[in-house]
Structure 1
Amino acid sequence: MPVDSIQSRTQRNADSFRARWNLLWSEKANWIAALAILGIGAHLLLRFGFHSSANVHSIPLWITLTVGGLPMLYELAGKLFKREFGSDLLGGISIITSVLLGEYLAGSIIVLMLSGGEALERYALQSASSVLSALAQRMPTIAHKKQQSGVSEVSLEQIEVGDTLIIYPHETCPADGVVIDGHGTMDESYLTGEPFQITKTSGSSVISGAINGGAVLTIRTTRLAADSRYAKIMEVMRKSEAERPRLRRLGDQLGAIYTPIALLVAISAWLISGEVLRFLAVLVIATPCPLLIGIPIAIIGSISLCARRAIIVKSPVVLEQITSCRTAIFDKTGTLTYGNPKLTELLSAKDFKDDLVLTMAASLERYSKHPLAQSILNATAERKIQLPEATEVEEKPGQGLRGTVSGHSVMITSRKQVLAQNLSGADELPAIAGGLECVVVIDERYAGMLRFRDAPRAESRPFVNHLGPKHQFQSVMIVSGDRESEVRYLADEVGIEQIYSQQSPEEKLAIVRAETSRAKTLYVGDGINDAPSMMAATVGMAIGQNSDVTAAAAGVVILDSTLTKVDEFMHISRRMRGIALQSAVGGMALSIIGMIFASLGYLNPVTGAILQEVIDVLAVLNALRAAFPPKVIHDL
């Protein structure tokens, strides 16, 4: 056999062994806890059931301490070597002390407490993400792709942007897209948190993970399956379980303070009473390693809750930081506004009526892809105007839109073109004002002007007004690349006084850095030019899915384009921090009370271990509350 083949097989065997060992080691808490339960149970049975001698009924406890305790002591020794003096150090000292004093039952209970706490942590983290796990199981593995040869089944990895997919009744949508044929409903509650059936027809957007109703829908994909909203939520689940959040370090810091206090109480109880068992009893009840798992459990639960509310937390640290932000910085277009200009003013020339000017313009705009076309059509729909057919429609670059409507020549163009062509009635053009504008010309005569503004979101003003009273923000500002008149108009509409207009991405970045040097900042935006500022701010937040670059730079991504979700995130974060500190500080306070009773001789080591386990369970159960939505999740 070739040497390379032998080496390859040897390497594969080594990798396989290493993988099995890593899996076994990662599950060590489970089998050590099981061993401790069996050992303690066998000891009690031999001691009280068969009344065997001490040498016999201590054997199960020795096995527990040797097989289960030594791996834990080895791990603690590694932490000491790295100078990590956490609160779990108390557990190691307690195990060693119990063996030296012959208190094997107390030592075995400590092994059970430490391993059981770690196993409970793993279970609690999985429970906190249970909704996301259930969602993962709902995702299909195949899609029905429509091709010239018919409909064929393909894997999700084979789906490309622009593919035509068939969504059959009651199937789960495999990718984000737009409906191109069919009419029905979809259940998006697993993704948006809103318990409604959403109507879908041609032009409606659909999101992966949504459940189709009773009608067949044909969609054109707009994103790869790997880039869909559903995939992002799944990514959050994986990262949140793997990444060690910053608040966990807060737990370590609390433990670093708590450990010497516990040792001082234990040593004092020993010296004052002269009973070494009191030293052990205090250490046993002081062991808070499982207790402090309440902090990461609260974080994972909050990340899970955010994901169910269409809020993707990419960096757990933002959950801690957002509550201390005091300056809010907003981009303008698409953040505080809808990003869709709306017709706000129609100025007709003399001898022309408003409805006539709007009708002629809308009849042409039905054939245009200009960004303002839909705003004009929406205005006619609101007025319930019937549009006549347009003919000879053409749109040459820089010259505007031309056509014939009801026998009249119609042109939609710019102020500059009207003046350049010296058209009849040009002297009636209104003065230049803020916002966007287009000019309507009928039969070579100026007929009217349409003015547009990007309307502020309905929730923008209430959201801005409540940032100070409800979330302690001291400064709110707009930093935008738009003209000052436009930025000032929006600022007045939403109640913001401080603005920076006509700012380049580099200038935006400089402003954010300067503000962040004075206080922690929240930056909210949606465009590619916002990415540098998001990264420079304390917390960067992207609204919508307009740019993968922006989403990559942000610590939080709001999948639904609404500021209400920003407020929800603030509430979830504040609640998470409160629950995490309740679990850590509250549990430690109960432990300190128990330590006092143990130092006075009212608790022996075995009773103290049982009491500590009860405290740990209470702390974990409290932390799990973070995964469930509160009654009030926003103020808007």
Structure 2
Amino acid sequence: MARLLKLARRYWVVTLTLGIGLAGIVLALTGAGAAVPWIFSVYALGIAVWQAVGMVRDILRGHWGLDILAVTAIVATVLVGEYVAALLVVLMLTGGAALEDYANRRAKRELDALLTRSPQHAHRMEGDAIVDVLASDVQVGDVLLVRPSEIVPVDATLRSHEASFDESSITGESVPVEKQAGDLVLSGSVNGQSAVEVVAAASAADSQYQQIVALVTAAAESKAPVVRLADRYAVPFTVFSLALAGVAWWVSGDPVRFAEVLVLATPCPLLIAAPVAFIGGMSRSARNGVIVKGGGVLEQLAAAQTAVFDKTGTLTYGSPTLVAIRPEPGFGEDELLAAVASAEQYSSHVLATSMIEAAKHRGLPLVEAEWAREAATNGVTAELDGREIVVGKFAFVQEHAPEAERTGIAPGELAVYVAVDGRFAGAILASDRLRDNAHATLARLGELGVHQTMMLTGDAKATADHIAAELGITRVRADCLPADKVAEVAAIAERPVIMVGDGVNDAPVLAAADVGIAMGAKGATAASESASAVILVDDISRTAKAVEIGRDTVRIALQSIWLGIIVSIGLMIIAAFGVIPATIGALLQEVVDLVTILAALRAIGGRLDAKAEASGRGIHSLVTTR
């Protein structure tokens, strides 16, 4: 009962319309039926005026909508004395808007779940006391207590010895993740069965969960181009409906025939179908670990012809392992690795972690820099113990040490060059492993119609060619700077273009592509903010899943739009021959609205995903355990 009362208050115009209809029935049964036509007609005309005001405002803004048909139908039915049909048209109009809102709320269930789970409070440890504070008041370095089954309020590092966290709301992975002391714990994760202590690593606003919430908010507020495309049917559909109604009146000589046709011409299916389908598609994407920033992104994904990939961290795992150290005369292996690892402490590149881990594995001490400066995508310059250390790409190091020479590398390897105080010190070789499901992902994209593939990378040509050959990618551009990547994507003729990347250096090209997809599981904030979609789990197969969802969503949206148009036109033609009375026609139009909404809700995709899994083409069939 409480739920019904809540719905009645939310959709008060529908409630009022039903109340007036019920009052009319009571009056008719009690012998006061003479007042019913006046009550129904005045109320219907009042709603028509209300709708007309909004319609005129839209027209003045240059937007020709479909409300003119509903307004005309109400006025026509009142003028010919079909007051019951007039009230039913009002119910259809207001009820259609209510059904759209309800369907949208249903379709956004997975998206809203992210918003409602947003952490609000934290338990800060202050000496021996535990103080409850707002999550927004947590500062980096604060020690927080996270009780069993509570949500981690901010990104933090685990202080307790070990713990288990449910990260399904962040990454889409259903299996709890075991963490050890010092491991990163993402905000939005749910703690296991034991209370743990964590140290805040970021403020609430800068934490992973809040970034996801911001993306979800942007997605929910968007409006897809195909929704605007549905509005373009307004003028031809209105002209056809009015012309058909006018012909029916002229041929029959009965003005009632005009009203009978128009009550079936109301445009709710066109207004409802596309928005519901696209919000359903965004909901399905979120459920599959991909946050899509707008319905228009799904439309672009559906039409995509070319997929462009970054290499490191996208087609590969992004965690290269040390292969060899090649110092120049006068430098030792450990000395070179220690210098590189110390400088790489100030770099955001994926190679930095590998160099640091390799140095720690050898027990080499890392030195704190007097100063350090990173040149995005090129390398790092740092002063360590009074020496200037330059680490990075060959061209970058050669600017500081002109005598630098390229070292030979095997296919699949990459080299990090080093200069010390303007002198070439040598190179360190590393190798990155191809993702196990990269080939399956590209094959699935081909099945979905994305036949053109390309790889853009800042790595050496030999390494890039080796990876591309393994995957069957025919178009490769190596040694790319961010500007080069943008230019390459802009020059592609087969559009729309999808660009998939994960790093800060990919942010410009992600923004430049028709659809930029960021591998955001590792917290590449700049890439995520500039992308059109963000994959929340470290799984490249979600790229193919996003395209699949886009294609399904657009197909269902257009099917639903045309279903509404065809059924409405068919009923209008029948009504033109006087077969369908105005009251029955209004009731039939309610059925058309309901059928259209149900058709559009298929975009939520539960059955589609289940079917994909059953046929062996689902996400999990592409994922191989590392």
Query: Which TM-score bucket, shorter chain as reference?
Result: 0.7 to 0.9
Residue 157 of structure 1 deviates from its aligned partner by 0.8
TM-score normalised over the length of structure 2:
0.79
Deviations 1:75-109 (A, max 9, x none): 22323344433332211111111122122221111
Amino acid at match of 1:520: P
SS, match of residue 473 in structure 1:
coil
Task: Check 1:137–1:505 CA distance in 2 against 1; reply closer, same or farther (3 A cut).
Answer: closer
Alignment of 1:319-334 (within 5 A): 319-334=298-313
Amino acid at match of 2:18: I
* Residue 157, structure 1, aligned to residue 133, structure 2: no
Deviations 1:280-303 (A, max 9, x none): 111111112255312111111222
Amino acid at match of 1:50: T
Task: Check 1:395–1:235 CA distance in 2 against 1; reply closer, same or farther (3 A cut).
Answer: closer
SS, match of residue 452 in structure 1:
strand
* Residue 101, structure 1, aligned to residue 80, structure 2: yes
Residue 117 of structure 1 deviates from its aligned partner by 0.9
Query: Percent identity over the alignment?
Result: 33
Amino acid at match of 1:39: I
Task: Check 1:43–1:180 CA distance in 2 against 1; reply closer, same or farther (3 A cut).
Answer: same
Amino acid at match of 2:32: S
* Residue 30, structure 1, aligned to residue 7, structure 2: no
Structure 2 counterpart of 1:460, from 438, 444, 451:
438
TM-score normalised over the length of structure 1:
0.78
Partner in structure 1 of residue 348 of structure 2? none
Structure 2 counterpart of 1:202, from 154, 173, 181:
181
SS, match of residue 432 in structure 2:
strand
Partner in structure 2 of residue 425 of structure 1? none
Residue 501 of structure 1 deviates from its aligned partner by 1.0
Q: Unpaired runs of 5+ in structure 1?
A: 1-26, 348-356, 381-386, 402-412, 417-429, 440-448
Partner in structure 2 of residue 519 of structure 1? 495
Partner in structure 2 of residue 587 of structure 1? 564
Partner in structure 2 of residue 575 of structure 1? 552
Larger mean CA deviation between 124-133 and 209-218 belongs to 124-133
Q: Distance in 2 between matches of 1:626 and 1:320?
A: 13
Task: Check 1:547–1:138 CA distance in 2 against 1; reply closer, same or farther (3 A cut).
Answer: closer
* Residue 558, structure 1, aligned to residue 535, structure 2: yes
Alignment of 1:328-343 (within 5 A): 328-343=307-322
Partner in structure 1 of residue 30 of structure 2? 50
Partner in structure 2 of residue 239 of structure 1? 218
Q: Distance in 2 between matches of 1:292 and 1:272?
A: 31
Deviations 1:196-231 (A, max 9, x none): 222222243322222211112222333322233332
Partner in structure 1 of residue 279 of structure 2? 300
Alpha-carbon contact 1:509-1:532 (below 8 Å) kept: yes
Q: Distance in 2 between matches of 1:112 and 1:52?
A: 23
Residue 29 of structure 1 deviates from its aligned partner by 8.9
Alpha-carbon contact 1:191-1:209 (below 8 Å) kept: yes
Alpha-carbon contact 1:266-1:278 (below 8 Å) kept: yes
Q: Distance in 2 between matches of 1:586 and 1:60?
A: 35
Partner in structure 1 of residue 20 of structure 2? 39
* Residue 534, structure 1, aligned to residue 534, structure 2: no
* Residue 602, structure 1, aligned to residue 579, structure 2: yes
Q: Unpaired runs of 5+ in structure 2?
A: 1-7, 327-332, 346-351, 370-380, 385-390, 395-406, 418-426, 613-617
Residue 61 of structure 1 deviates from its aligned partner by 0.5
Alpha-carbon contact 2:222-2:293 (below 8 Å) kept: no
Q: Distance in 1 between matches of 2:216 and 2:24?
A: 42
Structure 1 counterpart of 2:450, from 470, 473, 497:
473
Residue 115 of structure 1 deviates from its aligned partner by 1.1
Task: Check 1:138–1:511 CA distance in 2 against 1; reply closer, same or farther (3 A cut).
Answer: closer
Alignment of 1:240-279 (within 5 A): 240-279=219-258
Residue 546 of structure 1 deviates from its aligned partner by 4.1
Residue 140 of structure 1 deviates from its aligned partner by 3.8
Residue 237 of structure 1 deviates from its aligned partner by 4.2
Alpha-carbon contact 1:245-1:299 (below 8 Å) kept: yes
Alpha-carbon contact 2:124-2:132 (below 8 Å) kept: yes
SS, match of residue 291 in structure 2:
strand
Alpha-carbon contact 1:143-1:153 (below 8 Å) kept: yes
Structure 1 counterpart of 2:124, from 133, 142, 145:
145
Residue 333 of structure 1 deviates from its aligned partner by 1.3
Partner in structure 2 of residue 110 of structure 1? 89
Amino acid at match of 1:32: V
Larger mean CA deviation between 544-553 and 571-580 belongs to 544-553
Residue 475 of structure 1 deviates from its aligned partner by 1.6
Task: Check 1:221–1:626 CA distance in 2 against 1; reply closer, same or farther (3 A cut).
Answer: farther
Q: Distance in 2 between matches of 1:231 and 1:451?
A: 38
Q: Distance in 1 between matches of 2:440 and 2:113?
A: 36
Task: Check 1:311–1:452 CA distance in 2 against 1; reply closer, same or farther (3 A cut).
Answer: same
Partner in structure 2 of residue 223 of structure 1? 202
Q: Distance in 1 between matches of 2:568 and 2:305?
A: 36
Q: Distance in 2 between matches of 1:237 and 1:298?
A: 17
SS, match of residue 477 in structure 1:
strand
SS, match of residue 173 in structure 1:
coil
Residue 570 of structure 1 deviates from its aligned partner by 1.3
Alignment of 1:60-75 (within 5 A): 60-75=39-54
Deviations 1:436-469 (A, max 9, x none): 4799xxxxxxxxx99531111111122123322x
SS, match of residue 465 in structure 1:
helix
Q: Distance in 1 between matches of 2:164 and 2:282?
A: 29
Q: Distance in 1 between matches of 2:269 and 2:494?
A: 38
TM-align CA RMSD: 3.5
Q: Distance in 2 between matches of 1:42 and 1:396?
A: 82
Larger mean CA deviation between 157-166 and 595-604 belongs to 157-166
SS, match of residue 476 in structure 1:
strand
Partner in structure 2 of residue 17 of structure 1? none
Residue 500 of structure 1 deviates from its aligned partner by 0.7
Amino acid at match of 2:603: A
* Residue 616, structure 1, aligned to residue 593, structure 2: yes
SS, match of residue 95 in structure 2:
helix
Partner in structure 2 of residue 353 of structure 1? none
Q: Distance in 2 between matches of 1:66 and 1:465?
A: 59
Larger mean CA deviation between 295-304 and 190-199 belongs to 190-199
Task: Check 1:556–1:241 CA distance in 2 against 1; reply closer, same or farther (3 A cut).
Answer: closer
Alpha-carbon contact 2:414-2:429 (below 8 Å) kept: yes
Q: Distance in 2 between matches of 1:431 and 1:552?
A: 37
Amino acid at match of 1:537: A
Alpha-carbon contact 1:233-1:307 (below 8 Å) kept: no
Q: Distance in 2 between matches of 1:480 and 1:499?
A: 8
Task: Check 1:558–1:396 CA distance in 2 against 1; reply closer, same or farther (3 A cut).
Answer: closer
Q: Distance in 1 between matches of 2:495 and 2:79?
A: 54
Q: Distance in 2 between matches of 1:105 and 1:577?
A: 37
Alpha-carbon contact 1:164-1:220 (below 8 Å) kept: yes
Q: Distance in 2 between matches of 1:562 and 1:226?
A: 26
Amino acid at match of 1:42: A
